Structure formats: structure tokens, C-alpha cells
């Protein structure tokens, strides 16, 4: 059997479409027309020799063969990108002081650091996982080169990278009846999630009380898992016992929250610039998944 050489450009289009939730969004991101993207997908099906997509409502979903190809596509692209980055970054040295909110510390940060370190092993990284206000204080002291922040703090060289829906977080199956006093587990102020949650309850005229407060996200997760109260975050990094509570919970709708990426200089040093590139690439999937 003659093996086909899969087109790297086509594989990248497939992965981008799946990350963003559709070919129209992928076409916009990649600067192509939808017809060009459709042509690429037909070419990929011809190369593989199997249907990769099936109708699902008004859209398309992957077949079993499509799922297999997508998994390999991600691995191929990761190796390709690592090879290019390693070749370009062999001379990159120095250090990067990188700050991230606690929501990203356990589930997202390790993959980012591993990818960066494979490409730039000579760079020393100092990672700080903290609340956004703590990271902003650190920035004011000149202690961070790069930082991911909730909200849109008025900082020089900070760029908006996306918006995510806030969500009520609690034990699975939680339901609030009209007139119930809602027990809340919240960060100590200042907190960009705290006031929007309180204001949403007050607009609905739903009584509430502060049942638990903590400076750490682990503390909030523990309080919510034990039933002490519900909290307000995004869907990022939820522990198994907790869930984002939807309309059936009886709780009011919450707004979106911005996500910003700060750099200490308009033209950062090479190590910081490369880490910023990787962070922005890795955030694409995170934002798309958390927005669904």
C-alpha cells in the first residue's frame, strides 16, 4: 500500500477548526475563505481515504476516523512547532518571571512550561501563581516580565486576549429555590469575581450571605465541594466534585470576564517574547473550551 504524505498546512487547519468550534472561525483566524478551508478538508479526506466528518444538526462533527486523524494531527503539529522553535531558539538564554492566576496553575501552566522548556532549555523560568491583585502588586514592584491577569487592569503593554463567561460553581445538582438565602464562598476583596456575583443575586432579589472566605482557590473549591456555599469563577480547572451550574440551578446569569496578558516592555527580550507566543497559542484552546 502506498502511504500518503499528509499536508502540514491542512492538519493545522483541521486542528484550528476543532479548537475554535467551526470552519468559519478557522477560516477567519487563518485568513482564508470558507471555500478554501472546505477544499483543504476534502483533500485531507482523499489523502486518508476515509470520511472524516458527519452531519450533526446544522454543523459538522468528526467521525471515528476524524477523531483519530485529529489526535495524530495535534502530535505532528506539536513536534513540528517544537522543531522550528528549538532551531530558532538555540541561542535564547536568560530568565523569565511569569505570573498566572490560580485558576491556571494546576491544569494549564505545566503544559505551557513543558513546551517552552523543551524548546529553550537554557532559559530559567520563575513562575508565580497568585490572585490577580497579588500579581498586579508584583508588577508594580517590577517583579514580573510577563503575567496573565483576570480583567483589564490599566497597565502599560497589557493586551486583551479573550473573554470567558463567569459561572456559578457548586456541587452537582445544586438548585436554589426562589427566596432561598444563597450561601456564598468567595475570595477576600479585592476580587474581580466577587462583586458581579453579589450584584447578580441582588438584581434577582435573591437573599445571600457570605458563608466562607479564603485567599486561595483551593479553599474555595473545598468549601464548595463540602456544601458550605457556591462560588463564582469560570469553568477552568474544576475539580471532579464540582460543576458549572446552569439555568436549572435557579441562579441568575453572570457576565463575562476579560483575560489580559501583560508584558513589562513593549519590545520584550527574546525569552519573554517566545514565552508570550506560546502562552497566546495555548490560550486559544482554553478560551474556546471554556466558552462553550
pLDDT at 283 over 70: yes
Residue 196 pLDDT:
96
pLDDT at 45 over 60: yes
**What is the rounded average pLDDT for all residues in the chain?**
89
pLDDT at 121 over 90: no
Does the residue 188 lie in any domain?
yes
Residue 243 belongs to domain with CATH number: 3.40.190.10
Rounded Cα–Cα distance for residues 164 and 141 (Å): 28
Residue 75 pLDDT:
87
Domain ranges, residue 220: 167-254
Within a 10 A sphere around the Cβ of 95, how many other Cβ atoms?
13
Whether 242 and 273 map to the same domain: the answer is no
Q: Of the candidates 248, 247, 215, 209, which has an alpha carbon nearest to the alpha carbon of residue 230?
A: 209
Q: Of the candidates 209, 153, 165, 144, which has an alpha carbon nearest to the alpha carbon of residue 183?
A: 209
Rounded Cα–Cα distance for residues 187 and 255 (Å): 18
Mean per-residue pLDDT, 22-28 = 85
Of 27-36, 77-86, 101-110, the one with minimum mean pLDDT is: 77-86
Whether 150 and 272 map to the same domain: the answer is yes
Mean per-residue pLDDT, 253-279 = 93
Question: Mind listing the pLDDT tens digit for each residue in 164-217?
Answer: 999 999 999 999 988 899 999 999 888 999 999 999 999 999 999 999 999 999
Could you tell me which residues are beta bridge partners of residue 162? 259
Phi and psi for 115 in degrees, rounded to 5?
-65, -45
Mean per-residue pLDDT, 2-24 = 85
Higher-pLDDT residue of 92 and 268 is 268
Does the residue 27 lie in any domain?
yes
Whether 179 and 235 map to the same domain: the answer is yes
Mean per-residue pLDDT, 134-144 = 95
Residue 70 belongs to domain with CATH number: 1.10.10.10
User: By the 8 A CB rule, do 258 and 159 touch?
Assistant: no
How sure is the predictor about 1, in pLDDT bands with cuts at 50, 70 and 90? low
Residue 139 pLDDT:
96
132-163 burial code (b ≥16 CB/10 A, e <16): bbebbebbeeeebbbbbbbeebebeebeebbe
Bridge-based pairing state of the strands 123-130 and 158-165: unpaired
Within a 10 A sphere around the Cβ of 197, how many other Cβ atoms?
25
pLDDT at 79 over 90: no
Residue 135 pLDDT:
96
Does the residue 2 lie in any domain?
no
pLDDT at 2 over 70: no
Whether 26 and 77 map to the same domain: the answer is yes
pTM for this predicted structure:
0.72
H/E run at residue 208: strand 208-214
Chain center to CA of 143:
24
Q: Is 49 exposed, middle or buried (0-12, 13-18, 19+ CB in 10 A)?
A: exposed
Amino acid at each position: 500500500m502506498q502511504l500518503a504524505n499528509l499536508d502540514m498546512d491542512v492538519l493545522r487547519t483541521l486542528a484550528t477548526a476543532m479548537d475554535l468550534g467551526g470552519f468559519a472561525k478557522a477560516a477567519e483566524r487563518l485568513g482564508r475563505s470558507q471555500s478554501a478551508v472546505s477544499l483543504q478538508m476534502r483533500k485531507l479526506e482523499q489523502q486518508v481515504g476515509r470520511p472524516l466528518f458527519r452531519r450533526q444538526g446544522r454543523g459538522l462533527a468528526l467521525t471515528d476516523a476524524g477523531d483519530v486523524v485529529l489526535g495524530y494531527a495535534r502530535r505532528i503539529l506539536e513536534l513540528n512547532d517544537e522543531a522550528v522553535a528549538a532551531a530558532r531558539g538555540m541561542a535564547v538564554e536568560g530568565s523569565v518571571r511569569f505570573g498566572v492566576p490560580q485558576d491556571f496553575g494546576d491544569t494549564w501552566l505545566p503544559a505551557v512550561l513543558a513546551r517552552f522548556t523543551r524548546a529553550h532549555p537554557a532559559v530559567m523560568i520563575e513562575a508565580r501563581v497568585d490572585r490577580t491583585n497579588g500579581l498586579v502588586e508584583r508588577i508594580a514592584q517590577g517583579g514580573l516580565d510577563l503575567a496573565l491577569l483576570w480583567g483589564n487592569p490599566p497597565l502599560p503593554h497589557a493586551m486583551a486576549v479573550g473573554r470567558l463567561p463567569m459561572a456559578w460553581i457548586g456541587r452537582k445538582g445544586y438548585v436554589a429555590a426562589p427566596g432561598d438565602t444563597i450561601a456564598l464562598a468567595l475570595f477576600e476583596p479585592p476580587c474581580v469575581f466577587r462583586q458581579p456575583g453579589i450584584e447578580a443575586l441582588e438584581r434577582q432579589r435573591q437573599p445571600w450571605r457570605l458563608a466562607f472566605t479564603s485567599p486561595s482557590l483551593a479553599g474555595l473549591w473545598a468549601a464548595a465541594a463540602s456544601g458550605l456555599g457556591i462560588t463564582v469563577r469560570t469553568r477552568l480547572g474544576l475539580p471532579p466534585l464540582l460543576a458549572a451550574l446552569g439555568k436549572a440551578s435557579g441562579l441568575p446569569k453572570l457576565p463575562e470576564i476579560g483575560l489580559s496578558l501583560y508584558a513589562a516592555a513593549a519590545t520584550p527580550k527574546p525569552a519573554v517574547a517566545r514565552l508570550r507566543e506560546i502562552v497566546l497559542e495555548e490560550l486559544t484552546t482554553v478560551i474556546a473550551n471554556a466558552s462553550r
